[in-house]
Amino acid sequence: MPLLAFTGPCQFRGTYLPPGDKSISHRAILFGALAEGESVYENFLEAEDCLHTLEAMRRMGVEIQHEKGTGKVRISGKGLQKLSAPGQELYLGNSGTSMRLLLGILAGQRFETVLTGDPSLSVRPMRRVTDPLKQMGAQIKGKENGNFAPLTIRGGKLRGIDFDNKLSSAQVKSALLFAGMYAEGRTIVREAIPSRDHTERFLEAAGARFQKIGNNLIVEKTEMLLPIHGRVAGDISSAAFFIVGAAMIPGSEVTVQDVGLNPTRVGFLEVLKRMGASIETQVKQTVPEPMGTIHVCGAKLKGTGITHEEIPSLIDELPILMVAMALAEGESLISGAAELRVKETDRIQSMVRNLKAIGASIEELPDGSLIRGVEEFHGATVESFGDHRTAMSLGVASLAAKGTITVRDTECIATSYPAFTDHFFRLLKS
């Protein structure tokens, strides 16, 4: 069982270039495969989750050139209607994004496919996607009426639906927008609280019959998608570990370059600013994705609250924000975050248990946590629970620890950020 040991107290200092964005890398492969013509991307994230998406499209007949270690992919698109039956089940590892988005694409294909994953993915809820896809006309079978993998899907003739995305889930939304390109009539996805909008940006860039009216997303049957050439922006969710780590330790100073600054992804920066962090952003590119620089200086932070309305813009950053809140002066309250319980692990439970083990004052709530700041952490051995964001957050917690924090079961980090430890120790200053 691989483990990593992090010894503090320390600071982060230096300039940092994050890996390619995980969410965008998934979509780059999917849209490239469905386009007519050749799509070329640089800075593709070569993490396990994204590679599962890449391999799934290869198994359905898409030619993809990818030289490992270069971040470059060249995709010879087959078009919306010309994917081939894979001939065997598609194994997607631990990637919920791969499974949910592929369900939307496979709903429009005229063949049967079986989607499987590792034990963690096999207990993550899928009915939020499979139920509306069934309403559109897809045939889907799985444990508990299509709620858990393995899932068998047979696509066919789809019809558009009007769907209220109450979970504000980008994965649910994206699956339905993919399926909507195959459906007769209009598919409307309504969002009271907008979730990350990478799929919408790809739809527009690829020429889909798509429009956004207020908080309503409308897609109609699309005959052809255009290929795209571009660079995947740096992943702000990966950079968040070093941004938050620098913000919570006085004396730290980090500059993050070429990082994605999509407005639907930067909610955690606003939380840090409320807590008293010194953060400056500079946008250098706006199309197809906002990208630029973040400069952060460490300070003694103060507690704050995070409400349901903010959760979609910072759902992936909540574990590392919990670390910062555990060191902040006063109380912090996270509410409306029940979605954390159905990630790779129950992240509320895993973070509360581990933060207590290193000396934090934290109380688990049904939809979040109540945290009272302490001055420092102490060393301990903690568990990742097989979750990459839990593991990386605990590594960053060591910056404020007197002693060594040893994280068990750390191979999970490779699902999203294989270079994390290398980048961590490169920025680390005692």
Told to judge if 21 belongs to the known catalytic residues of this protein, a careful annotator would answer: no
- Would you tell me how many other CB atoms lie within 10 Å of the CB of residue 187? 27
Judge contact between 195 and 263, C-beta under 8 A: no
Burial of 264 (0-12, 13-18, 19+ CB in 10 A): middle
Burial of 116 (0-12, 13-18, 19+ CB in 10 A): middle
Judge contact between 238 and 19, C-beta under 8 A: yes
In degrees and rounded to multiples of 5, residue 6 shows phi and psi of: -125, 125
**Straight-line distance from the first to the last Cα atom of the chain, in angstroms, rounded to the nearest whole number:** 28
List the one residue out of 316, 376, 324, 384 whose CA is nearest residue 353.
Answer: 384
CB-based contacts of 67, cutoff 8 Å, min separation 6: none
Mapped onto helix, strand or coil, the DSSP state of residue 281 is strand
Per annotation, catalytic residue among 316, 346, 367, 422? 316
Q: Residue 22 and residue 113: Cα distance in Å, rounded? A: 24
Q: How far is CA 165 from the centre of its chain?
A: 18
Q: Residue 229 and residue 202: Cα distance in Å, rounded? A: 11
* Cα dihedral across residues 140, 143, 145, 146: positive or negative: negative
Judge contact between 158 and 107, C-beta under 8 A: yes
In degrees and rounded to multiples of 5, residue 56 shows phi and psi of: -60, -40
Mapped onto helix, strand or coil, the DSSP state of residue 204 is helix
What amino acid occupies position 311?
I
- Would you tell me how many other CB atoms lie within 10 Å of the CB of residue 374? 18
Q: Which residues of 297-336 are buried (b: 16+ CB within 10 A; e: fewer)?
A: ebbebbbbebeeebbbbbbbbbbbbbbbbbbbeeebbbbe
Active site residue ranges? 316
